[in-house]
């Protein structure tokens, strides 16, 4: 049993990791251990009652080159976070996803002999696979959301375990979708400002061509909801708003969305989808030139399926015409049945190996460290 009062610092740098970190915290709170937890995060983490000493909205940038203009501010903020963590002298630091941020913090903390767990493997199976060897230099343990990831780390000599995906447990496998009088299409460009700026106008111009379809969306902040609503008003479209993407996707018949956790949410909610993605041209050039991509698909449903289960439209191919064609394909009832049947199988594979698996993994890690 872990001694009472073990201190844990958690950093979740974006909305998707905020969701995962909140589930992790709730699991820890259900154990008999009296953990002291402080965090960097957002609304989901705040709702657990732990101290949030920095809001994660400050990190809502993406891409290899997109962060350059914000780099001085981000570096100052990261330095402040590291200083706070070092002052707290935690028993473990847990970085949740956001590897660009959390790996940098972990490297700084390693100099102070602070143990590091990284929760959510970066996509080493998709691009830059040699990162695992660098990770082994400053990370003590990786908690993986997908079962195939653990072998990658163990082969590199880095401790890793599969803890399941919390969303798989939160969403029922035998979900009963409602019968809508008109098909409900979820329009979800993503939570980052750049994703909204790049994808939402194109999404709205695309769905404007559809007839007899209800449109709905969800986002993480009132400011971003207002921004998207203004775009919808300018396009002359009626857009319903849901407080939570999961609730929308449970009711939706189809989804047009950006790549990321939301694609996994759509899969778990048995919602046929079209996944869109566009990064800066220079970033894309670097990715292609240095052959960073390891497989021809990038959305999580396709990665888990190991093939093209859902349509992907990216980069130069990301046009209104191509999105409409893809939406037409997933409107086919036979194609929808194929997707939904496979979605259920993949859902079962993501279930945690045992109740409170993530909390138990952390507990075992702390016990092993106390014996050293």
Q: Is 211 helix (H, G, I), strand (E, B) or coil?
A: coil
Q: Are residues 330 and 223 in the same domain?
A: yes
CATH classification of the domain holding 79 = 3.40.50.2000
Identify whether 176 is part of a domain: no
Whether 83 and 226 share a structural domain: no
Q: Kindly state whether residues 200 and 329 are assigned to the same domain.
A: yes
In a domain, 289, yes or no: yes
Same domain as 327, residue 302: yes
Tokens 């963590």 — which residue?
85
Q: Are residues 146 and 190 in the same domain?
A: no
In a domain, 307, yes or no: yes
224, 116: one domain: no
Residue with tokens 């259920």, as numbered in its chain: 344
Helix (H, G, I), strand (E, B) or coil at 269: coil
Indicate whether 171 belongs to any domain. Answer: no
The tens place of each residue's pLDDT in the chain, 372 residues long, gives 555 579 999 999 988 899 899 999 999 999 988 899 999 999 999 999 999 999 988 776 544 444 566 778 888 999 999 999 999 999 999 999 989 899 999 999 999 999 999 999 998 876 778 889 999 999 999 999 999 999 999 999 999 999 999 899 989 999 999 999 999 999 999 888 889 999 999 999 999 999 999 999 998 789 999 999 999 999 999 999 998 999 999 999 999 999 888 999 999 999 999 999 887 676 677 666 656 566 788 899 999 999 999 999 998 999 999 999 999 999 999 999 999 999 999 999 999 999 999 999 999 999 998 876
CA distances from 141 to 8, 62, 130 (A): 15, 25, 17
Domain range for 214 is: 184-349
Q: Residue 223: CB partners within 8 Å, gap ≥ 6?
A: none
Domain count, the chain: 2
Q: Do 194 and 343 lie in a common domain?
A: yes
325 Rama sector, left if φ>0, alpha if ψ -120 to 50, beta otherwise: alpha
Whole-angstrom Cα distance, residue 241 to residue 243? 7
User: Any idea what the Cα angle at residue 124 is, between residues 167 and 19, rounded to 5°?
Assistant: 25
pLDDT at 16: 80
Residue 170 lies in a domain: no
Angle 342-343-349 from CA coordinates, rounded to 5°: 95
Same domain, 133 and 227: no
Decide: pTM greater than 0.95: no
> Is the domain of 105 the same as that of 199?
no
Together in a domain, 345 and 356: no
Whether 1 is in a domain gets the answer no
Q: Are residues 218 and 358 in the same domain?
A: no
Distances (CA, A) of 84 to 52, 75, 77, 109: 12, 14, 11, 11
Domain presence at residue 14: yes
Write the Ramachandran bin of 315: left for phi over 0, alpha for psi from -120 to 50, otherwise beta: left
295 and 362 fall within a common domain? no
Q: Give pLDDT, residue 174.
A: 93
Q: 224 lies in a domain?
A: yes
Dig out the tokens for 237 from the structure: 């479209």
* pLDDT score of 324: 98
């Amino acid at each position: 049993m872990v001694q009472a009062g073990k201190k844990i610092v958690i950093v979740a740098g974006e909305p998707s990791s905020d969701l995962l970190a909140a589930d992790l915290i709730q699991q820890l709170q259900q154990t008999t251990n009296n953990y002291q937890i402080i965090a960097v995060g957002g609304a989901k983490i705040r709702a657990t009652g732990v101290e949030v000493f920095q809001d994660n909205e400050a990190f809502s940038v993406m891409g290899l080159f997109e962060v350059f203009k914000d780099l001085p501010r981000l570096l100052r903020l990261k330095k402040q976070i590291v200083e706070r963590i070092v002052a707290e002298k935690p028993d473990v630091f847990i970085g949740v996803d956001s590897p660009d941020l959390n790996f940098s913090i972990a490297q700084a903390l390693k100099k102070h002999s602070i143990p590091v767990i990284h929760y959510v493997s970066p996509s080493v199976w998709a691009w830059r696979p040699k990162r695992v060897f660098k990770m082994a230099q400053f990370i003590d343990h990786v908690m993986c959301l997908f079962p195939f990831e653990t072998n990658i780390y163990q082969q590199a000599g880095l401790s890793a375990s599969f803890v399941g995906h919390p969303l798989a447990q939160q969403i029922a496998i035998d979900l009963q979708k409602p019968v809508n009088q008109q098909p409900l299409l979820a329009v979800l460009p993503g939570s980052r400002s750049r994703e909204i700026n790049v994808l939402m106008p194109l999404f709205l111009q695309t769905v404007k061509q559809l007839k007899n379809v209800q449109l709905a969306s969800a986002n993480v902040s009132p400011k971003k909801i207002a921004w998207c609503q203004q775009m919808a008003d300018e396009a002359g479209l009626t857009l319903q708003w849901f407080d939570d993407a999961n609730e929308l996707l449970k009711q939706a018949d189809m989804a047009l969305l950006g790549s990321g956790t939301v694609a996994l949410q759509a899969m778990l909610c048995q919602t046929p989808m079209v996944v869109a993605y566009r990064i800066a041209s220079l970033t894309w050039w670097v990715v292609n030139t240095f052959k960073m991509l390891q497989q021809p698909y990038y959305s999580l449903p396709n990665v888990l399926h190991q093939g093209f289960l859902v349509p992907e439209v990216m980069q130069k191919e990301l046009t209104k015409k191509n999105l409409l064609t893809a939406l037409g394909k997933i409107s086919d009832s036979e194609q929808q049945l194929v997707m939904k049947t496979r979605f259920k199988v993949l859902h079962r594979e993501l279930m945690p190996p045992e109740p409170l698996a993530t909390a138990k993994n952390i507990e075992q890690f702390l016990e092993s460290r106390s014996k050293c």
